Structure 1
Amino acid sequence: MPATVLVLVETINDYLPILEHQGFHLILAPTPAERAEAISTHGERIDAVLTRGPLGLFADEIAALPALKIICVIGAGYEHVDLQAAADRGITVTNGAGVNASSVADHAMAMLLSMVRDIPRCDAAVRRGEWPKIMRPSLAGKRLGILGLGAVGMAIAKRAANGFDMTVSYHNRQHRSDVAYSFCSTPTELARASDFMVVATPGGLGTRSLINRSVLDALGPNGFLVNIARASVVVTADLISALEQRRIGGAALDVFDHEPQVPDALKSLSNVILTPHVAGLSPEATQGTVELVGRNLMAFFSGQPVLTPIDLPASASAMPPENNAAL
Structure 2
Amino acid sequence: MTTDTSAASAAAAAAPAPTGTAATAQRILRVGPVNPQVARTLDEEFDALVLPSDPAERAAFLAEQAGGIRIAVCSGRVGVDTELMRSLPALEAIINFGVGYDATDVAQAAERGIPLSNTPDVLNDCVADTALALYLDTLRQVSAADRFVRAGRWAAGEGFPLTARASGRTVGILGLGRIGTAIAQRLEAFGCRIHYHNRSERPESGYTYHRTVRELAEAVDVLVVAASGGPDSVGIVGAAELAALGPQGHLVNIARGTVVDEDALVAALTEGTIAGAGLDVYEREPQVPEALFGLENVVMLPHVGSGTRETRADMAELVLSNLRRYLADGTLLTPIS
Within the candidate set 126, 133, 146, 1:110 is matched to: 133
Corresponding residue of 1:59: 82
Distance 1:129 1:30 in 2: 48
Is it true that 1:154 corresponds to 2:181 in the alignment? yes
Query: Which of 256, 260, 265 is the equivalent residue of 1:239?
Result: 265
Amino acid at match of 1:25: D
Spell out, residue by residue over 1:108-151, the C-alpha distance to the aligned partner (whole angstroms, 9 max, x if none).
11111111111122111111222234322221111111100111
> Structure 1 length normalisation: TM-score?
0.86
Specify the code of the residue in structure 1 equivalent to 2:193: T
Residue-by-residue CA offset, 1:150-184 (whole Å, 9 max, x unaligned): 1110111111112x221111110001132122111
Letter in 1 for 2:316: V
> Do the aligned partners of 1:43 and 1:66 also contact (CA within 8 Å) in 2?
yes
Question: What corresponds to 1:318 in structure 2?
Answer: none
Q: Are 1:75 and 1:98, in contact at CA under 8 Å, matched by a contact in 2?
A: no
1:139 aligns with 2:162: no
Q: CA deviation at 1:197?
A: 1.0
Q: Give matches, 1:172-183, under 5 Å.
A: 172-183=198-209
Contact 1:18 1:290 in 2 (8 A): no
Does residue 302 (structure 1) correspond to residue 328 (structure 2)? The answer is: yes
Deviation at 1:202, TM superposition (A): 0.9
Q: How does 1:71-150 map to 2 (within 5 A)?
A: 71-131=94-154, 132-150=159-177
Change (3 A) 1:258 1:41: farther
**Structure 2 residue runs without a partner (length 5+):** 1-21
Matched, 1:25 2:35: no
> Kindly tell me: are residues 15 and 165 of structure 1, through their superposed partners in 2, closer, same or farther at Cα, counting changes over 3 Å?
farther
Whether the 8 Å CA contact 1:108–1:226 is kept in 2: the answer is yes
Query: 2-side partners of 1:39 and 1:271: how far apart?
Result: 47
Selected match of 1:2 from 23, 40, 49 = 23
Question: Which of 268, 275, 288 in structure 1 is aligned with 2:294?
Answer: 268
186, 193, 201: which one pairs with 2:227?
Answer: 201
How big is each residue's C-alpha offset from its partner over 1:224-269, in whole Å with a ceiling of 9 and x where there is no partner? 1011111111111211111111110001111112111111112232
Measure the CA separation in 2 of the matches of 1:92 and 1:41: 24
Equivalent in 275, 279, 288 of residue 253 of structure 1: 279
Residues 32 and 273 of structure 1: CA distance in aligned 2, closer, same or farther (over 3 Å): farther
Secondary structure, aligned partner of 1:49: strand
Structure 1 runs not aligned, ≥5 long: 312-327
Please give the secondary structure, in 2, of the residue aligned with 1:73: strand
Deviates more, 1:281-290 or 1:297-306: 297-306
What does residue 7 of structure 2 align with?
none
Q: Report the AA paired with residue 156 of structure 1.
A: I
Match of 1:321 in 2: none
One-letter code aligned to 2:104? V
Q: What is the root-mean-square deviation in Å for CA atoms of aligned residues? A: 2.3
1:9–1:279 distance in 2 versus 1, CA, 3 Å? farther
The separation in 1 between residues aligned to 2:316 and 2:210, in whole angstroms, is: 35
Deviation at residue 15 of structure 1 after TM alignment: 4.7
Q: SS state of the match for residue 229, structure 2? A: coil
Q: Could you tell me the TM-score, scaled by structure 2's length?
A: 0.84
Report the 3-state secondary structure (helix = DSSP H, G, I; strand = E; otherwise coil) of the residue aligned with 1:169. strand
Comparing 148-157 with 64-73, greater Cα deviation is found at: 64-73
Q: Offset at 1:27?
A: 3.3
Relative to structure 1, the CA distance from residue 302 to residue 156 in structure 2 (aligned partners, 3 Å threshold; closer, same or farther) is same
C-alpha contact 2:249 2:276 (8 A) present in aligned 1: yes
How many equivalent residue pairs?
309
Q: Indicate how the Cα distance of structure 1 residues 195 and 300 shifts in structure 2: closer, same or farther if over 3 A, else same.
A: same
1:14-43 alpha-carbon deviations (Å, 9 max, x no partner):
35455668x433334585657666545543
Q: In structure 1, how many angstroms separate the alpha carbons of the residues matched to 2:58 and 2:192?
A: 45
SS at match of 2:203: coil
Structure 2: distance between partners of 1:92 and 1:114: 39
Match of 1:46 among 69, 76, 83: 69
Q: Which residue is equivalent to 2:8?
A: none
Alignment match of 1:223 (pick from 219, 244, 249): 249
CA distance in 2, matches of 1:149, 1:37: 45
2:105 and 2:281 map into 1 onto residues whose CA distance is 21
